[in-house]
Amino acid sequence: MWQADTFDEKQIAREIGWLSSTGMNSVRVFLHDLVWEQDALGFLNRIDKFLGLARRHRIGVMPVFFDGVWHPFPTPGRQREPEPGVHNSFWLQSPGVAVLRDSGKFSRLKAYVTGVIGHFRDDARIHLWDLWNEPENPNTGNYGPRDIPREEKAKIVLPLLAKTFLWARSARPVQPLTSGVWVGDWSSDEKLEPLHRLQLLTSDVISFHRYASLVGTRISVGFLKRFGRPLVCTEYMARGVGSTFRAILPYFRRERIAAYSWGSVAGKSQTIYPWDSWQNPYPPEPPLWFHDIFRANGTPYDQKEVELIRKLSKQP
C-alpha cells in the first residue's frame, strides 16, 4: 500500500469516500518500518497524501507503527498475491521476527518512530498514534511454528514497547499515544501481565480489541473503566462470533467509546473469510462475511448495517 510503485491515490480516495458516506469519521491504518527504511522521505510524502485524502472526506486517521500479527518475515518490493479463500494470507508483521531476535537492529526503529511522529506531531488530521498492534501475538493458527512463542515474544517486546513510548514522546506529539490490549485477564491490577500493565498504564487513552458478543464486550469494558481514561475499541466486528454492528455499535455509542470495526472493502486482505480459513480455505463468496462492509464495487454487503451506522453517527 505504501510503496511508491503501488500507492494508489485513486483507490484510496474511492474507498475512504465509501466509508465517509456511512458517517464514519476516523480510520485506523497500518504503516510499516521497511517502507521507512527503503524510502523515508517518499513515505512521509505518501502519508501526507493519505491524510489529505481522508481530510477531504472529513475523516481523521490513527496510524499504527508496529504489528505483531501475520507473516513473520516481511520483505520490501513486490508482494505475493493472496492465497485463495484465506484470511490475511500475506499481511506483514512489523518488525519481523529477524529484527525482534536481534536487539542490535532496534536502533533503526527509533528513527522510524521519531521521524514519522516528529513530522506530523501537531497535525490535526491525525487523531491518535497506535504504537503497537497485538505485540505478543504468536500467530498460533497460521504461522505459529515459524513465529516466536507468545511468552517469549512478550518478553522481547516488553522493553522494546517501553522504548517505543519513550521515542514517541520525545517527538513531542500533541496527539495521544496508545497500544491496545487484546488477550489476557484485565479484571484487576494483580492479574495483569507485565506487557499489558505497560500498555494500560503508559497509554494516554485506553485501547482494546474485543471480538465477542455484547455480554463479553460489556464485561471487558467494565474492567477497563477503572483506569479513568477515554476508551477506544480499535478492533471489533466479526459477524461469525457475534461481534456485529447491530449488537455492539449501539452499546459503544451509549458508552461514548470510540469504535473501529475491522475491515472496510473486500480486497487483498481477504478478511471476508474467517480465521479458520487458514485450516480450511473458503469458496470465493463465503456463506457469511466475517469482516468488511463494502464489496469491491462500493455496494454494501448488508445495506441495513450501513443504515444503522448512518443513524448512529447522526445522533447528537
Average pLDDT score, the chain = 96
Mean pLDDT of 164-175: 98
pLDDT tens, residue by residue, 12-29: 999 999 999 999 999 999
Query: Which residues are registered as beta bridge partners of 94?
Result: 67
Torsion over CA of 43, 49, 52 and 53, rounded to 10 degrees? Answer: -120
Cα angle for residues 149, 151, 155 (degrees, 5° grid): 110
Cβ within 8 Å of residue 265, ≥6 positions away: 15, 18, 292, 293, 294, 295, 296, 298
Structural domain boundaries, residue 240? 4-313
- What pLDDT shows up at residue 260? 98
pLDDT tens, residue by residue, 113-169: 999 999 999 999 999 999 999 999 999 999 999 999 999 999 999 999 999 999 999
pLDDT tens, residue by residue, 193-221: 999 999 999 999 999 999 999 999 999 99
Output the pTM of the full model. 0.96
- CATH number at 232 reads 3.20.20.80
Give the chain's radius of gyration (CA, Å): 19
Q: Give the cell for residue 145.
A: 511454528
Domain total of the chain = 1
- What pLDDT shows up at residue 314? 86
Instruction: Note whether 131 and 181 are within 8 A (CB).
Output: no
pLDDT tens, residue by residue, 226-249: 999 999 999 999 999 999 999 999
